[in-house]
Chain A
Protein backbone atom coordinates (compact mmCIF):
# COMPACT_ATOMS: atom_id res chain seq x y z
CA UNK A 1 0.00 0.00 0.00
CA UNK A 2 1.29 3.46 -0.88
CA UNK A 3 2.05 6.08 1.73
CA UNK A 4 -0.36 8.97 2.10
CA UNK A 5 1.46 12.27 2.26
CA UNK A 6 -0.39 15.58 2.02
CA UNK A 7 1.59 18.79 2.57
CA UNK A 8 0.24 21.30 5.05
CA UNK A 9 -1.53 24.43 3.87
CA UNK A 10 -2.47 27.52 5.87
CA UNK A 11 -5.77 25.83 6.74
CA UNK A 12 -5.07 22.11 6.62
CA UNK A 13 -2.66 19.87 8.49
CA UNK A 14 0.36 17.93 7.29
CA UNK A 15 -0.61 14.32 6.76
CA UNK A 16 2.19 11.80 6.76
CA UNK A 17 0.89 8.23 6.83
CA UNK A 18 3.73 5.76 6.25
CA UNK A 19 2.27 2.39 5.31
CA UNK A 20 5.24 0.14 5.88
CA UNK A 21 6.46 1.50 9.21
CA UNK A 22 2.94 2.00 10.56
CA UNK A 23 3.69 5.56 11.61
CA UNK A 24 0.79 7.88 11.00
CA UNK A 25 1.25 11.59 11.66
CA UNK A 26 -1.14 14.55 11.58
CA UNK A 27 0.33 17.95 12.36
CA UNK A 28 -0.80 21.58 12.15
CA UNK A 29 -4.16 23.31 12.08
CA UNK A 30 -7.35 22.15 10.44
CA UNK A 31 -10.03 24.50 9.19
CA UNK A 32 -10.31 23.73 5.48
CA UNK A 33 -13.16 25.27 3.55
CA UNK A 34 -14.67 21.82 3.16
CA UNK A 35 -13.47 19.51 5.91
CA UNK A 36 -15.37 16.37 4.76
CA UNK A 37 -13.84 16.75 1.30
CA UNK A 38 -10.37 17.11 2.81
CA UNK A 39 -10.73 14.20 5.24
CA UNK A 40 -12.63 11.79 2.97
CA UNK A 41 -9.54 10.41 1.16
CA UNK A 42 -7.67 10.27 4.45
CA UNK A 43 -10.42 8.27 6.11
CA UNK A 44 -10.65 6.01 3.05
CA UNK A 45 -6.89 5.36 3.11
CA UNK A 46 -7.04 4.69 6.86
CA UNK A 47 -9.97 2.27 6.61
CA UNK A 48 -8.29 0.29 3.83
CA UNK A 49 -5.01 0.31 5.71
CA UNK A 50 -6.53 -0.87 8.99
CA UNK A 51 -8.31 -3.68 7.14
CA UNK A 52 -5.02 -4.99 5.77
CA UNK A 53 -2.56 -4.16 8.55
CA UNK A 54 -1.47 -6.73 11.09
CA UNK A 55 1.67 -5.09 12.54
CA UNK A 56 1.49 -2.42 15.25
CA UNK A 57 0.57 1.17 14.40
CA UNK A 58 1.78 4.36 16.06
CA UNK A 59 -0.25 7.50 15.57
CA UNK A 60 1.17 10.95 16.36
CA UNK A 61 -1.27 13.84 16.42
CA UNK A 62 -0.29 17.45 16.95
CA UNK A 63 -3.21 19.67 16.05
CA UNK A 64 -3.39 23.13 17.57
CA UNK A 65 -6.72 24.11 16.08
CA UNK A 66 -9.67 22.26 14.53
CA UNK A 67 -12.91 23.77 13.32
CA UNK A 68 -16.17 22.00 14.15
CA UNK A 69 -16.37 19.89 10.99
CA UNK A 70 -12.72 18.88 11.40
CA UNK A 71 -13.48 17.74 14.95
CA UNK A 72 -16.22 15.53 13.53
CA UNK A 73 -13.85 14.08 10.90
CA UNK A 74 -11.17 13.51 13.54
CA UNK A 75 -13.71 11.64 15.67
CA UNK A 76 -14.53 9.43 12.67
CA UNK A 77 -10.82 8.63 12.26
CA UNK A 78 -10.46 7.87 15.94
CA UNK A 79 -13.54 5.63 15.75
CA UNK A 80 -11.90 3.69 12.90
CA UNK A 81 -8.72 3.27 14.94
CA UNK A 82 -10.72 2.19 17.98
CA UNK A 83 -12.65 -0.38 15.94
CA UNK A 84 -9.40 -1.84 14.57
CA UNK A 85 -7.94 -1.93 18.07
CA UNK A 86 -11.05 -3.73 19.33
CA UNK A 87 -10.41 -6.37 16.66
CA UNK A 88 -6.94 -6.98 18.05
CA UNK A 89 -4.67 -4.59 16.13
CA UNK A 90 -1.99 -2.93 18.28
CA UNK A 91 -2.50 0.83 18.05
CA UNK A 92 -0.99 3.56 20.22
CA UNK A 93 -1.92 7.22 19.86
CA UNK A 94 0.37 10.02 21.05
CA UNK A 95 -1.43 13.36 21.25
CA UNK A 96 0.96 16.32 21.49
CA UNK A 97 -0.27 19.59 22.97
CA UNK A 98 1.12 22.99 23.90
CA UNK A 99 2.39 22.39 27.44
CA UNK A 100 1.88 26.05 28.36
CA UNK A 101 -1.79 25.93 27.47
CA UNK A 102 -4.08 24.22 30.02
CA UNK A 103 -7.01 24.44 27.67
CA UNK A 104 -5.11 22.41 25.06
CA UNK A 105 -4.64 19.69 27.67
CA UNK A 106 -8.39 19.70 28.43
CA UNK A 107 -9.08 19.33 24.73
CA UNK A 108 -6.78 16.34 24.47
CA UNK A 109 -8.61 14.79 27.44
CA UNK A 110 -11.92 15.27 25.63
CA UNK A 111 -10.68 13.20 22.69
CA UNK A 112 -9.19 10.59 24.98
CA UNK A 113 -12.53 10.12 26.76
CA UNK A 114 -14.00 8.71 23.56
CA UNK A 115 -11.48 5.89 23.33
CA UNK A 116 -10.22 2.88 25.24
CA UNK A 117 -7.10 2.25 23.12
CA UNK A 118 -3.74 3.51 24.48
CA UNK A 119 -3.83 7.32 24.18
CA UNK A 120 -0.85 9.25 25.53
CA UNK A 121 -1.14 13.00 26.06
CA UNK A 122 2.30 14.57 25.80
CA UNK A 123 3.43 18.22 26.15
CA UNK A 124 4.85 19.32 22.80
CA UNK A 125 8.20 20.20 24.41
CA UNK A 126 8.72 16.49 25.12
CA UNK A 127 8.21 15.55 21.47
CA UNK A 128 11.18 13.81 19.94
Chain B
Protein backbone atom coordinates (compact mmCIF):
# COMPACT_ATOMS: atom_id res chain seq x y z
CA UNK B 1 0.00 0.00 0.00
CA UNK B 2 1.47 3.36 -0.99
CA UNK B 3 1.35 6.48 1.17
CA UNK B 4 -1.34 7.89 -1.14
CA UNK B 5 -3.43 4.73 -0.78
CA UNK B 6 -3.25 5.09 3.01
CA UNK B 7 -4.26 8.76 2.87
CA UNK B 8 -7.20 7.95 0.59
CA UNK B 9 -8.26 5.09 2.86
CA UNK B 10 -8.07 7.33 5.91
CA UNK B 11 -10.10 10.05 4.18
CA UNK B 12 -12.72 7.46 3.31
CA UNK B 13 -12.93 6.31 6.94
CA UNK B 14 -13.06 9.89 8.21
CA UNK B 15 -16.11 10.56 6.06
CA UNK B 16 -18.00 7.87 7.95
CA UNK B 17 -19.31 9.09 11.32
CA UNK B 18 -19.29 5.54 12.74
CA UNK B 19 -15.54 5.23 12.26
CA UNK B 20 -14.76 8.85 13.11
CA UNK B 21 -16.41 8.56 16.51
CA UNK B 22 -14.69 5.26 17.33
CA UNK B 23 -12.43 5.57 20.43
CA UNK B 24 -9.42 4.12 18.56
CA UNK B 25 -9.83 6.31 15.50
CA UNK B 26 -7.29 8.93 16.71
CA UNK B 27 -4.69 6.20 17.25
CA UNK B 28 -5.47 4.72 13.88
CA UNK B 29 -4.93 8.12 12.35
CA UNK B 30 -1.58 8.45 14.10
CA UNK B 31 -0.54 4.98 12.97
CA UNK B 32 -1.55 5.73 9.40
CA UNK B 33 0.48 8.94 9.43
CA UNK B 34 3.53 7.09 10.72
CA UNK B 35 3.07 4.42 8.10
CA UNK B 36 2.76 7.06 5.39
CA UNK B 37 5.95 8.73 6.54
CA UNK B 38 7.74 5.40 6.67
CA UNK B 39 6.73 4.49 3.12
CA UNK B 40 7.76 7.92 1.85
CA UNK B 41 11.08 7.64 3.66
CA UNK B 42 11.71 4.19 2.21
CA UNK B 43 11.06 5.55 -1.28
CA UNK B 44 13.42 8.44 -0.62
CA UNK B 45 16.21 6.20 0.69
CA UNK B 46 15.83 3.89 -2.34
CA UNK B 47 15.91 6.85 -4.69
CA UNK B 48 19.03 8.37 -3.11
CA UNK B 49 20.75 5.01 -2.92
CA UNK B 50 19.96 4.28 -6.59
CA UNK B 51 21.39 7.67 -7.52
CA UNK B 52 24.62 6.89 -5.68
CA UNK B 53 24.85 3.53 -7.48
CA UNK B 54 24.31 5.19 -10.88
CA UNK B 55 26.90 7.83 -10.02
CA UNK B 56 29.36 5.10 -9.07
CA UNK B 57 28.63 3.25 -12.30
CA UNK B 58 29.19 6.41 -14.35
CA UNK B 59 32.46 7.15 -12.58
CA UNK B 60 33.59 3.57 -13.18
CA UNK B 61 32.76 3.96 -16.87
CA UNK B 62 34.75 7.18 -17.06
CA UNK B 63 37.65 5.53 -15.26
CA UNK B 64 37.60 2.57 -17.61
CA UNK B 65 37.54 4.87 -20.63
CA UNK B 66 40.45 6.86 -19.22
CA UNK B 67 42.38 3.63 -18.65
CA UNK B 68 42.00 2.69 -22.31
CA UNK B 69 42.48 6.09 -23.93
CA UNK B 70 45.59 8.14 -24.55
CA UNK B 71 44.95 11.37 -22.67
CA UNK B 72 46.82 13.60 -25.14
CA UNK B 73 45.64 12.29 -28.52
CA UNK B 74 42.31 10.74 -27.51
CA UNK B 75 43.26 7.56 -29.34
CA UNK B 76 43.02 4.06 -27.87
CA UNK B 77 46.16 3.31 -25.87
CA UNK B 78 48.36 0.23 -26.05
CA UNK B 79 46.17 -1.83 -23.73
CA UNK B 80 43.02 -1.04 -25.68
CA UNK B 81 44.80 -1.81 -28.95
CA UNK B 82 45.93 -5.23 -27.80
CA UNK B 83 42.30 -6.02 -26.93
CA UNK B 84 41.22 -4.89 -30.40
CA UNK B 85 43.88 -7.02 -32.10
CA UNK B 86 42.91 -10.07 -30.05
CA UNK B 87 39.28 -9.64 -31.05
CA UNK B 88 40.26 -9.20 -34.69
CA UNK B 89 42.44 -12.30 -34.57
CA UNK B 90 39.45 -14.31 -33.28
CA UNK B 91 37.21 -12.82 -35.95
CA UNK B 92 39.82 -13.57 -38.57
CA UNK B 93 39.96 -17.21 -37.41
CA UNK B 94 36.19 -17.45 -37.87
CA UNK B 95 35.79 -15.72 -41.22
CA UNK B 96 39.12 -16.74 -42.74
CA UNK B 97 39.97 -13.17 -43.74
CA UNK B 98 43.28 -11.65 -42.91
CA UNK B 99 44.07 -8.28 -41.30
CA UNK B 100 47.01 -5.90 -41.35
CA UNK B 101 48.94 -3.93 -38.80
CA UNK B 102 50.75 -0.70 -39.62
CA UNK B 103 53.35 0.68 -37.25
CA UNK B 104 53.98 4.37 -37.91
CA UNK B 105 56.63 6.55 -36.31
CA UNK B 106 57.10 10.29 -36.73
CA UNK B 107 60.49 10.98 -38.28
CA UNK B 108 62.93 13.03 -36.21
CA UNK B 109 60.39 13.73 -33.53
CA UNK B 110 63.15 14.37 -31.02
CA UNK B 111 64.24 17.34 -33.12
CA UNK B 112 60.75 18.82 -32.88
CA UNK B 113 60.92 18.61 -29.09
CA UNK B 114 64.50 19.83 -28.93
CA UNK B 115 63.85 22.75 -31.27
CA UNK B 116 60.43 23.97 -30.16
CA UNK B 117 59.89 22.36 -26.79
CA UNK B 118 57.56 19.63 -25.62
CA UNK B 119 54.40 21.66 -26.07
CA UNK B 120 55.13 21.83 -29.78
CA UNK B 121 55.82 18.09 -29.71
CA UNK B 122 52.37 17.59 -28.22
CA UNK B 123 50.86 19.75 -30.98
CA UNK B 124 52.54 17.51 -33.56
CA UNK B 125 51.25 14.34 -31.91
CA UNK B 126 47.69 15.65 -31.69
CA UNK B 127 47.65 16.90 -35.28
CA UNK B 128 49.18 13.69 -36.62
CA UNK B 129 46.66 11.59 -34.69
CA UNK B 130 43.84 13.53 -36.30
CA UNK B 131 45.38 13.17 -39.77
CA UNK B 132 45.82 9.42 -39.41
CA UNK B 133 42.27 9.03 -38.14
CA UNK B 134 40.85 11.10 -41.01
CA UNK B 135 42.47 8.87 -43.60
CA UNK B 136 41.31 5.55 -42.17
CA UNK B 137 38.04 3.69 -42.51
CA UNK B 138 35.52 3.99 -39.70
CA UNK B 139 36.25 0.47 -38.46
CA UNK B 140 40.05 0.73 -38.63
CA UNK B 141 41.66 1.32 -35.24
CA UNK B 142 44.44 3.83 -34.76
CA UNK B 143 46.21 3.71 -31.41
CA UNK B 144 49.01 5.62 -29.78
CA UNK B 145 51.47 2.80 -29.21
CA UNK B 146 54.30 4.69 -27.55
CA UNK B 147 55.91 8.14 -27.58
CA UNK B 148 55.64 9.06 -31.27
CA UNK B 149 54.62 5.60 -32.45
CA UNK B 150 51.17 4.75 -33.74
CA UNK B 151 49.89 1.23 -34.32
CA UNK B 152 47.03 0.88 -36.77
CA UNK B 153 44.77 -2.15 -37.16
CA UNK B 154 43.12 -2.69 -40.55
CA UNK B 155 40.45 -5.38 -40.17
CA UNK B 156 39.74 -7.68 -43.13
CA UNK B 157 42.60 -6.27 -45.17
CA UNK B 158 45.13 -8.01 -47.42
CA UNK B 159 48.80 -7.07 -47.52
CA UNK B 160 48.21 -5.11 -50.75
CA UNK B 161 45.40 -3.17 -49.07
CA UNK B 162 47.61 -2.51 -46.06
CA UNK B 163 50.42 -1.19 -48.24
CA UNK B 164 48.05 1.12 -50.11
CA UNK B 165 46.71 2.46 -46.82
CA UNK B 166 50.23 2.95 -45.43
CA UNK B 167 51.23 4.92 -48.54
CA UNK B 168 48.13 7.05 -48.23
CA UNK B 169 48.92 7.77 -44.57
CA UNK B 170 52.55 8.55 -45.39
CA UNK B 171 51.46 11.13 -47.96
CA UNK B 172 48.77 12.57 -45.70
CA UNK B 173 51.20 13.09 -42.82
CA UNK B 174 53.82 14.67 -45.10
CA UNK B 175 51.29 17.11 -46.52
CA UNK B 176 49.77 18.18 -43.21
CA UNK B 177 50.70 21.58 -41.83
CA UNK B 178 50.98 21.75 -38.07
CA UNK B 179 50.54 25.00 -36.23
CA UNK B 180 53.05 25.42 -33.44
CA UNK B 181 51.49 27.27 -30.54
CA UNK B 182 54.80 28.74 -29.33
CA UNK B 183 57.26 28.82 -32.25
CA UNK B 184 59.96 30.89 -30.58
CA UNK B 185 61.12 29.09 -27.45
CA UNK B 186 63.69 31.28 -25.75
CA UNK B 187 63.80 33.43 -28.87
CA UNK B 188 66.37 31.14 -30.46
CA UNK B 189 64.40 30.38 -33.59
CA UNK B 190 64.19 32.56 -36.70
CA UNK B 191 61.14 31.40 -38.63
CA UNK B 192 61.10 31.19 -42.39
CA UNK B 193 58.72 33.47 -44.21
CA UNK B 194 58.07 31.57 -47.42
CA UNK B 195 55.58 28.86 -48.24
CA UNK B 196 57.64 26.40 -50.22
CA UNK B 197 59.22 23.74 -48.04
CA UNK B 198 62.57 23.60 -49.79
CA UNK B 199 62.86 27.36 -49.93
CA UNK B 200 61.88 27.55 -46.30
CA UNK B 201 64.61 25.12 -45.45
CA UNK B 202 67.09 27.27 -47.30
CA UNK B 203 66.00 30.41 -45.48
CA UNK B 204 65.96 28.88 -42.04
CA UNK B 205 68.88 29.12 -39.68
CA UNK B 206 70.47 25.71 -40.16
CA UNK B 207 72.37 25.71 -36.90
CA UNK B 208 69.22 26.36 -34.88
CA UNK B 209 66.60 24.47 -36.86
CA UNK B 210 67.50 21.02 -38.15
CA UNK B 211 67.15 20.96 -41.90
CA UNK B 212 64.88 17.91 -41.72
CA UNK B 213 62.15 20.05 -40.14
CA UNK B 214 60.47 22.01 -42.87
CA UNK B 215 58.95 25.35 -41.99
CA UNK B 216 56.05 26.32 -44.13
CA UNK B 217 55.27 29.61 -42.47
CA UNK B 218 56.43 31.30 -39.31
CA UNK B 219 54.23 29.16 -37.09
CA UNK B 220 53.69 26.04 -39.17
CA UNK B 221 55.89 23.05 -39.75
CA UNK B 222 55.64 19.90 -41.83
CA UNK B 223 56.80 16.53 -40.60
CA UNK B 224 57.05 13.05 -42.10
CA UNK B 225 56.33 9.55 -40.94
CA UNK B 226 57.83 6.13 -41.60
CA UNK B 227 55.54 3.14 -41.67
CA UNK B 228 55.90 -0.63 -41.56
CA UNK B 229 53.16 -3.01 -42.66
CA UNK B 230 52.60 -6.60 -41.56
CA UNK B 231 49.82 -9.01 -42.37
CA UNK B 232 48.55 -11.43 -39.75
CA UNK B 233 49.27 -15.06 -40.41
CA UNK B 234 47.45 -17.57 -38.25
CA UNK B 235 50.63 -19.55 -37.76
CA UNK B 236 52.14 -16.60 -35.89
CA UNK B 237 51.33 -14.87 -32.63
CA UNK B 238 50.01 -11.34 -32.26
CA UNK B 239 53.34 -10.33 -30.75
CA UNK B 240 55.16 -11.70 -33.80
CA UNK B 241 52.88 -9.73 -36.13
CA UNK B 242 53.51 -6.52 -34.15
CA UNK B 243 57.26 -7.23 -34.17
CA UNK B 244 57.11 -7.68 -37.95
CA UNK B 245 55.39 -4.30 -38.36
CA UNK B 246 58.03 -2.78 -36.09
CA UNK B 247 60.87 -4.44 -38.01
CA UNK B 248 59.60 -3.17 -41.34
CA UNK B 249 59.10 0.28 -39.84
CA UNK B 250 62.78 0.36 -38.96
CA UNK B 251 63.61 -0.83 -42.46
CA UNK B 252 61.73 2.26 -43.68
CA UNK B 253 63.61 4.43 -41.20
CA UNK B 254 66.91 2.97 -42.41
CA UNK B 255 66.27 4.26 -45.91
CA UNK B 256 65.77 7.80 -44.62
CA UNK B 257 62.15 7.81 -43.50
CA UNK B 258 59.05 9.31 -45.12
CA UNK B 259 58.17 5.96 -46.70
CA UNK B 260 56.58 2.63 -45.98
CA UNK B 261 57.87 -0.93 -46.10
CA UNK B 262 56.18 -4.27 -45.72
CA UNK B 263 57.09 -7.74 -44.53
CA UNK B 264 58.93 -8.93 -47.63
CA UNK B 265 61.19 -5.88 -47.32
CA UNK B 266 60.28 -5.01 -50.88
CA UNK B 267 60.34 -1.31 -51.46
CA UNK B 268 56.90 0.00 -52.22
CA UNK B 269 56.67 1.79 -55.53
CA UNK B 270 56.45 5.55 -55.60
CA UNK B 271 57.75 5.94 -52.07
CA UNK B 272 59.79 8.96 -51.31
CA UNK B 273 62.94 8.40 -49.24
CA UNK B 274 63.81 11.11 -46.77
CA UNK B 275 66.77 13.39 -46.99
CA UNK B 276 68.79 12.21 -44.00
CA UNK B 277 68.77 9.87 -41.04
CA UNK B 278 65.24 9.27 -39.75
Q: Which residues of A pack against B, CB within 8 Å?
A: 65-68, 71-72, 75, 101, 103-104, 106-107, 110-111, 113-114
Contacts and interface: CB of A to CB of B under 8 A. Distances in A.
A111 B58 contact: no
Contacts of B41: 75
Interface stretch (B6-14, B43-51, B88-96, B143-151): B43-51
B164 interface: no
A107 B52 contact: yes
B188 interface: no
B209 to A, nearest CB: 42
A6 to B, nearest CB: 21
B181 interface: no
A111 B48 contact: yes
B55 A75 contact: no
Contacts of B52: 65-67, 71, 107
* Dominant secondary structure at the A interface: helix
A110 B49 contact: no
A65 B58 CA distance: 13
Interface string B45-72: 1111101101110100000000000000
Interface residues of B, number: 13
A103 B45 contact: no
Interface in B232-256: none
Contacts of A68: 45-46, 49
A67 B48 CA distance: 9
Contact of B55 (A72, A107, A114): A107
Contacts of A114: 44
Contacts of B46: 68
A103 B48 contact: no
A40 B41 CA distance: 19
Contacts of B58: 103
Nearest to B42: A72
Interface string B16-52: 0000000000000000000000000100111111011
A101 B49 contact: no
A114 B37 CA distance: 11
